[in-house]
Amino acid sequence: MQIVEQPDQVSGPPPRPCPEDMIPPKELAICFGGGDFLGIGRNLVRRMIDWGGLLPSERVLDVGCGVGRAAVPLTEYISERGVYLGMDTYPFGIDWASEHITPHYPNFRFQSVDVFNNLYNPNAAVRASEFVFPYPDASFDFVLLNSVFTHMLPEDVLGYVSQIDRVLDRGGRVYCTWFLMDDDTRAHLKVNESTQVQLKHGFGSFYVDNPKDPEEAVGYEEHFARTILEKHGLVIEAVHRGNWCGRKASNYQDVIIARKT
């Protein structure tokens, strides 16, 4: 009888899902605004690397991580020595990401925090301005806030910047996006009246689209954003202006990169 050799049984854990297999359902689009989840996420990660100098072995805190739009493509970049922690006040996004990403990438974790935001968590008791991030001092190398300060009012932004400063290690970077106002932005908004965000209602250092629901879209005078970051020893390394107001640019919101010295 001829003996047919059997191929070796491949043992070990099943292969990890690739980013294409970790796309959240449409019901969670409030967390990321719909659109091309993976394409936008990959562009964001590219900018975190090119503009923010993110390294694969670093410890990343993603504040307002939503449903993991940065986390999913970061699974292709952050090494096993690195850490990714996503934190958000919208529990449904955190539940989805914890269930679909963490089991395959244990150094990617997600944490729900019960902090008030009129849009995403209107029943929470704790104000963002008073919230203490549940992490030790100097425990991260990179803090990301993508489309988060654009939904937060000044007192809350001030509180979060002070927490970011506390949890960042020396040399750490913050990558945060804004709708920044200055004369150039105002000139663009004037001739581009159909842009999605207009920020027509001004309140001194900040502007909103809808005074009845201000956290829908919040913009800041550029000098205000610079001053609060610099007051906390976060040195601004670059401002990349976005195309949200009709300006020509590859990124949508304005991006500030600052470093803790």
Ligand X SMILES: C[S@@+](CC[C@H](N)C(=O)[O-])C[C@H]1O[C@@H](n2cnc3c(N)ncnc32)[C@H](O)[C@@H]1O
Among the listed ranges 47-55, 114-122, 190-198, 246-254, the one in contact with ligand X (CB under 6 A) is 114-122
- Residue 148 as a binder of ligand X (CB under 6 A): the answer is yes
Selected from 60, 115, 174, 228, the binder of ligand X by CB under 6 A is 115
The answer to the question of residue 89 lying near ligand X (CB under 6 A) is yes
Check residue 79 and report its DSSP letter.
-
Backbone torsions φ then ψ of 181, nearest 5 degrees: -105, 135
Alpha helices in the chain (DSSP H): 37-50, 71-74, 91-100, 154-167, 183-191, 222-231
Neighbours of 212 (CB within 10 A): 6
Amino acid code (one letter) for 142: F
Binding mask 202-241 vs ligand X (x if CB under 6 A, - otherwise)?
----------------------------------------
Please, which residue, 63 or 256, has the CB nearer to ligand X?
A: 63
Interface with ligand X, residue 86, by CB under 6 A: no
Q: How many residues bind ligand X (CB under 6 A)?
A: 21
Note whether 75 binds ligand X by CB under 6 A: no
| Interatomic CA distance for residues 55 and 62, integer angstroms | 15
Q: How far, in Å, CA of 69 to CA of 168, rounded?
A: 22
Nearest approach in angstroms of CB 258 to ligand X is 18
Q: What token pair was written down for 114?
A: 């019960």
Tell me whether residue 92 is exposed, middle or buried, using C-beta atoms within 10 angstroms of its C-beta: 0 to 12, 13 to 18, 19 or more: middle
Do 124 and 116 form a contact (C-beta atoms < 8 A)? yes
CA dihedral 64, 231, 43, 138 (to 10 degrees): -60
Stretch that binds ligand X, among 3-11, 52-60, 101-109, 144-152 (CB under 6 A): 144-152
| C-beta closer to ligand X: residue 34 or 171 | 34
Residue 54, interface with ligand X (CB under 6 A)?
A: no
Under the binding rule (CB under 6 A), the answer on residue 65 touching ligand X is yes
What is the spatial distance between Cα 229 and Cα 234, in angstroms, rounded to a whole number? Answer: 5
Distance CA 114, CA 42 (A): 28
Of 42 and 69, which has the nearer Cβ to ligand X? 69
- Least separation, in Å, of the C-beta of 111 and ligand X? 10
Nearer to ligand X, 60 or 65 (CB): 65
Of residues 67 and 245, the one with the C-beta less far from ligand X:
67
Judged by beta carbon, residue 115 or residue 174, the one nearer ligand X is: 115
Q: Pick from 22, 28, 32, 105: which binds ligand X (CB under 6 A)?
A: 32
Which chain residues interact with ligand X by CB under 6 A? 31-33, 63-66, 69, 88-90, 93, 115, 117, 120, 128, 146-148, 151-152
